[in-house]
């Protein structure tokens, strides 16, 4: 909660009067986030609302335990049904990457539901490990210096926030385990039902960072600091040389 509060204050993620749609997949990250936001509602010196929304891909997922859990803890929750799974069968070719497709479709669904409920912000459960992995994947595979922003404005005008962006994945996993949260794992991942190649790039990047952290224990602390300390003038952007 201390880290969440500091991140919120640093980037003005949640403000007075906000109505936030929280993407709740049921995994350790999003479940921890909804409980943290519920606690922040109690602690914060300002008022805000949020509703947790779970996107169903239309492949027969069972969210009964997740629904019951949210009800038990008085967390406003809705399941949004889609046909993304069937659509993926038509759009995704054999041996093609599927993660970006499902991510885009899920994000689009959340944006649509946010407008339906009158929300001005969407909260996603990405953490520092996600940001580091995205940075190195873009760096190695795409030739880009790019990561995950704590806050940005989507094309439709919604503000997207990442309250957990300065937390480590292991912290969120420990929170879920210590509090016996009914997390949803790979059984809800649509990739398990498709004859497509697995997303090896992220797995390899995660393993690379794991090995790097063994040699440099302060790696993620330094990355967090570096993401806020970007020397733009030191890179090869030709526009910078018009002097």
Parallel, antiparallel, or unpaired: how do β-strands 77-81 and 151-153 relate? unpaired
Structure tokens at 154: 């989507």
Mean pLDDT per 10-residue segment, the chain (243 residues): 94 97 94 96 94 90 93 96 77 61 85 94 97 96 95 94 97 93 72 61 94 97 96 84 71
* pLDDT one-digit tens code per residue, 176-225: 999 999 898 765 566 555 555 566 888 899 999 999 999 999 999 999 99
What's the pTM?
0.90
Structure tokens at 171: 């912290």
Domains of the chain, start order: 2-230 (3.40.50.620)
Q: CA-CA distance, 32 to 24, in Å (whole number)?
A: 10
Give the Å distances, CA to CA, from 106 to 20, 32, 75, 190.
17, 20, 21, 12
Structure tokens at 229: 């300390």
Listed in sequence order, the residues at least 6 apart from 20 whose beta carbon sits closer than 8 Å to its beta carbon are 14, 37, 48, 49, 50, 51, 119, 120, 121, 122, 123, 161
Rounded to 10 degrees, what is the CA torsion of 78, 82, 84, 86?
A: 140
User: What's the pLDDT score for residue 165?
Assistant: 97
Structure tokens at 48: 């805000």
User: What's the pLDDT score for residue 101?
Assistant: 75
C-alpha radius of gyration, the chain, whole number: 19
């Amino acid at each position: 909660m201390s880290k969440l509060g500091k991140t919120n204050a640093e980037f003005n993620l949640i403000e007075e009067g906000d109505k936030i749609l929280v993407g709740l997949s049921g995994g350790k990250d999003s479940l921890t986030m909804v409980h943290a936001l519920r606690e922040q509602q109690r602690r914060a010196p300002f008022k805000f609302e949020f509703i947790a929304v779970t996107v169903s891909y239309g492949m027969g997922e069972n969210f009964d335990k997740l629904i019951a859990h949210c009800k038990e803890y008085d967390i406003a929750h809705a399941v949004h049904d889609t046909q993304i799974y069937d659509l993926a069968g038509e759009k995704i070719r054999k041996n093609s990457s599927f993660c970006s497709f499902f991510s885009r479709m899920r994000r689009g669904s959340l944006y649509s539901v946010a407008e339906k409920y009158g929300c001005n912000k969407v909260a996603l459960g990405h953490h520092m490990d996600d940001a580091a992995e995205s940075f190195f994947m873009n760096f190695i595979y795409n030739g880009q210096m790019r990561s995950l922003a704590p806050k940005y404005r989507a094309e439709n005008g919604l503000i997207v926030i990442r309250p957990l962006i300065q937390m480590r994945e292991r912290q969120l996993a420990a929170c879920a385990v210590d509090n016996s949260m009914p997390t949803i794992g790979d059984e809800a991942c649509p990739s398990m039902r498709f004859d497509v190649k697995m997303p090896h790039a992220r797995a390899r990047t995660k393993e690379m960072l794991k090995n790097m952290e063994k040699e440099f224990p302060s790696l993620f602390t330094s990355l967090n600091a570096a993401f806020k300390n970007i020397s733009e003038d030191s890179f090869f952007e030709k526009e910078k040389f018009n002097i």
